[in-house]
């Protein structure tokens, strides 16, 4: 709770317009378009919904192929699998979980339609290399920028570089609305159709703007509008974006500085921030030297009533997709699956609590 969340929810309810696309939704849209220079944005009930809208907008059909990192959340792939696409998994960098562009070109075939880079932990993928490949082969780029708000690639906001981008405002993100998401549209040819898809395949948005005298069913679509109550909560968070980010960056930097000596001794790895990327302090993770180390460190933290967790499991080895993927190895994705550990990290975290986490980690490595 950063400020006026409850006040704005009350305002939304009293306005009599809580079904979506009311004043708070419009305020959120203006905020993102003006602050981050997105050509057009549309709030959605989740990042998953924004990805599904993107899949429809670029006309993914059965038999199409979409290149996605294996080290990501399942929504990144489901959005395209639902349209009949085959997912072609790419590996991560050796030193960070983002998709490695070096391996992408060999995966492109005549069936490839899109590349979906995921900005893991809010840290930018190498978008110049990815966009160069997309332009060379005539592919779409859909940025999965779920945790990427207020983070940049060579001065450009994440989500403003690909043709389309999806953001999350889930309660685990930097700015939140409980559940919630947003589609960013950077190619104006998608503007009208995106509104139609979001409104169940109708031109209802044009009707409410007085651009048509009635609204009809004109395309496929679904219900991709969030409640105005959700937008009201989100807008209160956006008003406090600077406050939230200042606190989160201070917490991130404290972890990094206090654990750096362990990394210097090669006992673990800390997040690598490429020169082209900024850090929006979405999460703090470390990478252990072995799966056995991670298991033991997790247990040590839990024994001290500290809730640390690992993160994604390589999707190319998932029960749903392993047989389709085949035997092609993705060793870097597997290493992060087996060795990455996320530490407690959230706006309300107190420094004394953070110091307790740090102390336990130091105790663990002192005893190894």
Q: DSSP assignment of 98-129, as one string?
A: SB-GGGTGGG--TTEEEE--B-GGGPPP-HHH
Residue 113, pLDDT > 90, answer yes
Report the pLDDT averaged over residues 314-339: 98
Residue 289 sits at φ, ψ, to 5 deg, of -80, -15
Share of the chain above pLDDT 70, in %: 100
Residue 165, pLDDT > 90, answer yes
Burial, 76: exposed, middle or buried (Cβ in 10 Å; 0-12, 13-18, 19+)? buried
Same domain? 170 vs 288: no
Residue 207, pLDDT > 80, answer no
Residue 255, pLDDT > 80, answer yes
Residue 47, pLDDT > 90, answer yes
Same domain? 306 vs 275: yes
Domain count, the chain: 2
> Among the three residues 239, 261, 279, which one is the final residue of a domain in this structure?
239
Same domain? 150 vs 266: no
Domain coverage including residue 54 = 5-239
Instruction: Check residue 190 and report its DSSP letter.
Output: G
Residue 233, pLDDT > 80, answer yes
Residue 280, pLDDT > 80, answer yes
Residue 209, pLDDT > 80, answer no
pLDDT at 1: 79
Query: Mean pLDDT in the chain?
Result: 96
Task: Output the domain CATH number for residue 263.
Answer: 3.90.1150.10
Residue found under tokens 């509104």: 195
Same domain? 283 vs 207: no
> Among the three residues 220, 239, 258, which one is the final residue of a domain in this structure?
239
pLDDT at 2: 74
Closest CA to 42 of 10, 20, 13: 20
Which DSSP string corresponds to 14-65? HTT--SSSSHHHHHHHHHHHHHH--SEEEEES-HHHHHHHHHHHTT--TT-E
Residue 321, pLDDT > 80, answer yes
Residue with the bigger pLDDT between 286 and 207: it is: 286
pLDDT-derived band at 81, boundaries 50, 70, 90: very high
Same domain? 145 vs 190: yes
Same domain? 274 vs 327: yes
């Amino acid at each position: 709770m950063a400020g006026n969340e409850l006040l704005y929810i009350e305002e939304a309810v009293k306005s009599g317009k809580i079904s979506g696309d009311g004043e708070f939704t419009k305020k959120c849209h203006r905020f993102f378009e003006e602050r981050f220079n997105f050509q057009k944005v549309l709030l959605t009930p989740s990042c998953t919904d924004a990805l599904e809208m993107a899949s429809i907008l670029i006309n993914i059909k059965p038999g199409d192929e979409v290149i996605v990192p294996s080290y990501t959340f399942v929504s990144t792939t489901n959005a395209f699998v639902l349209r009949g696409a085959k997912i072609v998994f790419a590996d991560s960098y050796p030193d960070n979980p983002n998709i490695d562009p070096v391996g992408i070109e060999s995966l492109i075939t005549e069936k490839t339609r899109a590349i979906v880079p995921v900005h893991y932990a809010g840290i930018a993928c190498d978008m110049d290399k990815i966009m160069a490949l997309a332009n060379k082969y005539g592919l779409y780029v859909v940025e999965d920028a779920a945790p990427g708000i207020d983070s940049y690639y060579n001065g450009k906001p994440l989500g403003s570089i690909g043709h389309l981008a999806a953001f999350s405002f889930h309660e685990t993100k930097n700015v939140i609305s409980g559940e919630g998401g947003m589609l960013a549209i950077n190619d104006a040819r998608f503007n009208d159709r995106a509104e139609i898809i979001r409104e169940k395949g109708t031109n209802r948005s044009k009707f409410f703007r007085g651009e048509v005298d009635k609204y009809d069913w004109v395309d496929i679509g679904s219900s991709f509008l969030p409640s105005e109550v959700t937008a009201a909560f989100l807008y209160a968070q956006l008003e406090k974006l600077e406050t939230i980010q200042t606190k989160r960056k201070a917490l991130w930097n404290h972890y990094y500085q206090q654990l750096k000596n362990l990394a210097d001794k090669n006992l673990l790895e800390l997040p690598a921030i490429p020169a082209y990327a900024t850090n929006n302090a979405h999460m703090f993770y470390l990478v252990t030297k072995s799966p056995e180390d991670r298991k033991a460190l997790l247990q040590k933290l839990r024994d001290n009533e500290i809730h640390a967790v690992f993160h994604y499991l390589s999707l190319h080895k998932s029960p749903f997709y392993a047989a389709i993927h085949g035997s092609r190895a993705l060793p870097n994705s597997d290493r992060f699956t087996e060795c990455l550990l996320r530490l407690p990290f959230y706006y309300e975290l107190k420094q004394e609590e953070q110091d307790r986490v740090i102390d336990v980690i130091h105790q663990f490595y002192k005893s190894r």
